[in-house]
Amino acid sequence: MPRLLIALPFALLPLFAVAVHADEQVHAGLGTHEHGVAQLDAALDGSVLELELRSPAMNLVGFEHPASSAEDQAKVAQMRKQLEQPLALFQLDSGAGCHVTTQTLQSPLFGDQMPSEQDDDGDGDDHQHSEVHAHYQLTCSHPAALHQLGLAPLFKTFPATRRVQVQLIAPSGQQGLDASAAAATLTF
């Protein structure tokens, strides 16, 4: 695993501590799970670009419960098919020659054993909070030509995603920012 991704948690620890504290006050124990909001970690180390997307399932399929109906199963299958095509979700400079080396998709909706949160909001109904995690490793034959990462296709494909909280590490440094459909281009 590239050194930058290993260093990412340590570099972002102060930001995480502030975010967790604020989130605890707002969500009373729900962690960072917020409908309409996803997280993306991106790290460019030499010719390797790693992208890790975490999102509530609600943003991607419109529900978080196990897919028991044929309609829900079809939505999950469609979402998985879309996530299996990261070059269609993330715009990269074509001159960089990036191709997918590995990818991993995880979610309780796929039958994976991932932790999911239970929330009892006091109304007598327990609400399950399912997440989808997608990790992509890309190799770029000309990484110096990689100047931007566009998220417009991600917002178009999954319109319930209103905001993506991004942590980006590149040779020029690290940055944290919020992307939206109106401001969907990140600069390396």
- pLDDT per residue over 100-159, tens digit each? 999 999 999 998 654 444 444 443 344 567 899 999 999 999 999 999 999 999 999 999
In-domain check, residue 46: yes
Report residue 6 as tokens. 């290993």
In-domain check, residue 124: no
> How confident is residue 66, by pLDDT bands cut at 50, 70 and 90?
confident
In-domain check, residue 38: yes
In-domain check, residue 119: no
Residue-number span of the structural domain to which 160 is assigned: 3-111+130-187
On average, the pLDDT of the chain sits at 82
Domain count along the chain:
1
Are the CB atoms for 116 and 31 separated by under 8 Å?
A: no
In-domain check, residue 117: no
| Reported pTM | 0.76
In-domain check, residue 118: no
Quote the Cα angle for 151-186-171, to 5°. Answer: 130
Higher pLDDT, 62 or 113: 62
- pLDDT per residue over 2-35, tens digit each? 555 555 554 544 444 434 333 333 333 334 568 8
